[in-house]
Amino acid sequence: MRNLSTQRYSVTPQPIETLLTWVKSGDIAIPEIQRPFVWDAVKVRNLLDSLYQGFPIGYLIAWRNPAVRLKDGSKSEGKRILIDGQQRVTALMAGLLGHEVLTKNYETVHIRIAFNPLTEKFEVSNPALQKDPSWIPDIAGVFSPNASLLKLTRSYVDANANADEDAVYEAFDNLRKITHNHVGIIELASDLDIETVTEIFIRVNSAGAPLSQADFAMSKIAANETYGGPELRKAIDYFCHLAIAPDFASKIEKNDTAFASCQYWPSCKWLKNAKDDLYDPSYTDMLRVAFTSQFRRGRLEDLVALLSGRNFETKQYEEAIAEQSFATLKAGVLDFMNKTHFERLTMILRSAGIVTNDLIKSQNAVNFAYILYLTGRAEDIPSHDLERMVSRWYAMSVLRGRYSSSPETAFDFDIRQIDAQGLKRYTDAVIDAELPESFWTGTLPQNMETSASNSPYFSAYKAAQAKLGDKGFLSRDIKVLDLLLNRSDVHHVFPRDYLKKQGLERGRYNQIANFVLAQSEINIKIGNSAPEVYFTHLRNQVRGGKKKYGGITDEGELLRNLKENCIPMGLLEGSLTDYNEFLEERRRLMANKIKTWFEKL
Instruction: Pick the most confident of 61-70, 176-185, 438-447.
Output: 438-447
Question: Is residue 71 scored above 70 in pLDDT?
Answer: no
Considering the chain, what percentage of its residues have pLDDT values greater than 90? 66
Q: Beta-strand (E) ranges in 25-112? A: 28-29, 60-64, 68-69, 75-76, 80-84, 101-102, 108-109
Phi, psi of 185 (to 5 degrees): -105, 115
The C-alpha angle with vertex 487 and arms to 484 and 491, in degrees rounded to 5, equals 80
Of the ranges 65-74, 258-267, 427-436, 502-511, which one carries the lowest mean pLDDT score?
65-74
On the question of pLDDT at 34 being above 60, the answer is no
Q: How many CB atoms lie within 10 A of CB 485?
A: 12
Q: Residue 567 and residue 472: Cα distance in Å, rounded?
A: 12
Residue 567's closest CA among 492, 498, 508?
492
Instruction: Report which of 351, 436, 355 is spatially closest to residue 396, judged by C-alpha positions.
Output: 436
Residues 6+ apart with CB under 8 A from 46: none
Over range 108-133, report the average pLDDT.
93
In Å, how far are 467, 484, 540, 574 from 558, measured between CA atoms? 20, 21, 12, 15
Contacts of 279 by beta carbon, 8 Å cutoff, 6+ apart: 243, 342, 345, 346, 349, 357, 360, 366
Per-residue confidence (pLDDT) for residue 20, from 0 to 100: 86
Q: How confident is the model at residue 139 (pLDDT cuts 50, 70, 90)?
A: very high
Choose from 93-107, 224-238, 432-446 the range with maximum mean pLDDT.
Answer: 432-446
Mean pLDDT comparison of 67-76, 182-191, 280-289, highest-scoring range: 280-289
Q: What is the mean pLDDT of residues 514-529?
A: 92
Q: What is the mean pLDDT of the chain?
A: 89
What pLDDT sits at residue 133?
Answer: 94
Q: Is the pLDDT of residue 490 over 70?
A: yes
Tell whether the model's pLDDT for residue 50 goes beyond 90: yes
Write down the pLDDT at residue 64.
72
CA of 498: how far to CAs of 92, 148, 366, 492, 502, in Å? Answer: 63, 82, 39, 10, 7
pLDDT for 210: 44
Give the burial class of 530: count Cβ atoms within 10 A of its Cβ; 0-12 exposed, 13-18 middle, 19 or more buried: middle
Q: Where are the beta strands (DSSP E) in 293-432?
A: none
3-state secondary structure 56-70: CCCCEEEEECCCEEC
pLDDT band at 308 (very low <50, low <70, confident <90, very high): confident
Per-residue burial over 330-362, b if 16 or more Cβ lie within 10 Å, else e, is bebbbbbbeeeebebbbebbbebbbbbeebbbb
Please check whether residue 431 is in contact with residue 396, taking contact to mean a CB–CB distance below 8 angstroms.
Answer: yes
Q: With 90 as the cut, is the pLDDT of residue 378 above it?
A: yes
The predicted pLDDT at position 38 comes to 66
- Confidence check: pLDDT of 171 > 90: yes
Query: What pLDDT, on a 0 to 100 scale, did the predictor assign at position 33?
Result: 39
**Per-residue pLDDT, 78:** 64
pLDDT tens for 538-591 read 999 999 888 888 889 999 999 999 999 999 999 999 999 999 999 999 999 999
pLDDT band, very low/low/confident/very high, at 337 (cuts 50, 70, 90): very high
